[in-house]
Every structure is written in structure tokens, then in C-alpha cells.
Amino acid sequence: MKLIEGGVCAAKGYKANGIHCGIRKNRSKRDLALIVSEVSASAAAVYTTNLVKGAPLTVTKQNLADGRAQAVICNSGNANTCNANGIEIAMDMCALVEKSTGVSAKDVVVASTGVIGQVLDITPIANGMEELTAGLSENGSEAAAQAIMTTDTVKKEIAVEFTLGGKICRMGGIAKGSGMIHPNMATMLVFITTDAAISPEMLRKALSSDITNTFNMLSIDGDTSTNDMVTVLANGLAGNPEITCEGEDFTVFMQALNTLTVNLCRRIAGDGEGATKLLECIVSGSDDLETAKCCAKSVICSSLLKAAMFGADANWGRVLCALGYSGADVDVSKIGVSFHSCKGQIEVCRNGAGVPFSEEIAKQILLEKEIEILVTLGDGAYSACAWGCDLTYDYVKINGDYRT
């Protein structure tokens, strides 16, 4: 398993592109992305659990009912959510892909991200399709990654190479996500491509299993978006024997997928709106996995803890507070807390009580851009990890006038 370049175009048979078509006012911002596979691919997706869902999710779910897809189209700047004609617009986007590429409209994943409740005009998308399609390239992952960004400050893409059945396989992904992130399935928008051969059923199983320990353990601000979606396309061009059941090859495939998703989780968390620090809460010593996950997510979601991390304040009481209201059944008298960064590690709580520590050293540790919050619950065998960011003044500034 090794990291490689290429993002969603690293695997065989994929091309991508991203352009500015006019949805966003800033002409320097790309706002329309397209990813196309040479051949039909196994496909799987997970969607937001928010009852208010973007129209593209409804259309995508219909299109993926047969477990197949061949293209992805996504716009930024407008979420196409809570619009009377939203379904029609999403279907029109799929039809435009068919007209421009020959890929059936029913084999298109369609996605949108941006402001909720504003009508999405199909005109700029239609006008941009010729340029978008003409520019499809095996080097187009970066342009596509840029085109799906909203308040993101950096593009998010990654690819890995691995071996299945003696064949070299590749998997790559791009993601967008910076705010309104507290998923109960996935997060914001993530598009993953691979040339590995795997059945739609096993692909769904892999994705559904992975997100419980990755994207569902990510939180920026406690808000579950209406447009969250993660999709995976697997076109089989690597030539490995198709994965149709669990076994050694499925395990390797899961490892590759997890490498991508953990990396993207960290990048999204580190690029949270207004964030200055990536926070990672690692809970160990739990008697069961669900308790560990519940505790880690509760700590990473604490607004008070996030604010303390922004101020480099080793206020460990806020960690215990978050554990206490998490709903998990923990023995408070066994809890330990430490803070860690590249500047070192400092213990601040042992057996549920404070221990003497240097505030100066703690501050130096917490001034770094990546902070680990280490929590021990006892001597159990289970652990879990959750990702988030600090809460800064800029978060309010960004969201105070986001729509206008």
C-alpha cells in the first residue's frame, strides 16, 4: 500500500475536469466538475440522514439502484436543495452528461453543494458542458477537486496503489468539506474511483462498513448537511479477479479504502471553517467499541473544548465534561487525559482527577497545528478515533453572511 499522485484519475480509465461555468460570481473559482470512466463501473454511495435532502441525492439514489454508474457531475455555489424544480434540474444535469459524453443519464452520479434554498439555473451548466467535456483529462483530478470547493481553503485529493490477485490496482479520491459537517453517514461530498474489480454488493458492504469508523467520526460544527454524499466507482480495468465475497482480497481492498478515507477525514477536519488546528481525539481502554466511539465523538464535538484548543488552554475539565454527557457508561474514577503534539506530550488528568503539570509546557504543546487529545477509560481492549478542529472567531465571520 503506497501513496501515489493522480487523485480520482490515478486509476485506469478515468478522466476528470473542472471549470468555471458561471454559477459562482467569482470567475476565478471553478464551479462545475465532471469525472468519467471509460467503461461502466460498480457503484456504491452513502447519503446524509438529514430528512431535508438535496435533490441530487434523490436522483443519484435512483440512478445507482442497479449498482452501476459511469460518470459524476457536481456543481458548487448552489446546493439545489429545497427547490420546487430541484429534481428536474438534477435530472437535466444527468441528461447534459449523456448528451456531451454518451454516458447514459441513468448512469450518472449528480451532486451539488453551496447555498440552500436558492434556485439553480441550468443555463450556465448547459453552456459550460462543451468546455467541461473537451477538457476531460487523465490529469484533471486537481481541476475537479477545485471545482467542488465552497468555503474550503485547500483542495483535498489522494490516491493509493495496492495489489489484488497479482494485479496492480489504484484508488483515488477527492473531497470537499469545511463547514456544516457533522455527518451520520458520510461528509459533505466525497468521490472515490478505483480500477479494482469488485461486485456492487461487496462495494456497498465495504463503503458502509468503512464510514462508521471514518466519516461518521468527523465533526466540524455539529450541523449535519442536507447534501452529504460519498460515492465509489470501481470499473475493474486493473484486471484482478472480481471480489464477490469476503476474503484476503476484500480485506486488502478495505485497507486501501480506509487509507483514503482517514486521510480525507484529517484534511477536512484540518480545513474546518476558520480553523487553525486539526484535533484528533483518541480514546483507548474501553470495554467495547461503541463506548469508545461515543466518547471520542463527544469530546471532538464539544464547543467549549474546541474553543479551549483555539486558545491553547489545557482546560482538561472540558474533556471530562464532554465524556460525562456523552451518554456512554464510563467509570469516571478511571479516566485519564493527556495532550500531545509534535512539541511533546503532557498528562493533565489521572483517575478522574487533575495532576500537577506545567501550564507553560502545555501551552507550547497546544500551540501546534495538529493536537491529539488522548483519553484512557480503563484497561479495556477497544479504542476509537474522532477528528475535528478548533472553534475560532473566523467561524462566526464566515457563517454570519454566508448566504449574502
Residue with cell 480509465: 13
**What Å distances lie between residue 25 and 31, 82, 124, CA to CA?**
10, 21, 12
User: What average pLDDT does the chain have?
Assistant: 94
**Residue ranges of the domains in the chain?**
2-270, 278-400
Q: What CATH class has 2-270?
A: alpha beta
Residue with cell 469508545: 292
Q: How confident is the model at residue 181 (pLDDT cuts 50, 70, 90)?
A: low
Q: What secondary structure letter does DSSP report for 84?
A: T
Residue 137 has a CB neighbour count (10 Å cut-off) of 13
- Residues 365 and 312: their CA atoms lie apart, in Å, by 8
Active site residue 153: no
**What Å distances lie between residue 217 and 187, 266, 292, CA to CA?**
10, 11, 11
Q: How confident is the model at residue 88 (pLDDT cuts 50, 70, 90)?
A: very high
Catalytic position from the list 101, 187, 214, 224:
187
Residue with cell 487553525: 276
Tens digit of pLDDT for each residue in 323-364? 999 999 999 999 999 999 999 999 999 999 999 999 999 999
Helix and strand tally (H, E) in the chain?
11, 15
Q: Are strands 32-47 and 2-4 parallel, antiparallel or unpaired?
A: unpaired
Tens digit of pLDDT for each residue in 245-297? 999 999 999 999 999 999 999 999 888 888 899 999 999 999 999 999 999 99
Q: Domain 278-400 falls in which CATH fold?
A: Ubiquitin-like (UB roll) (3.10.20)
Which DSSP helix (H) or strand (E) runs through 286? strand 278-286
Q: How confident is the model at residue 186 (pLDDT cuts 50, 70, 90)?
A: very low
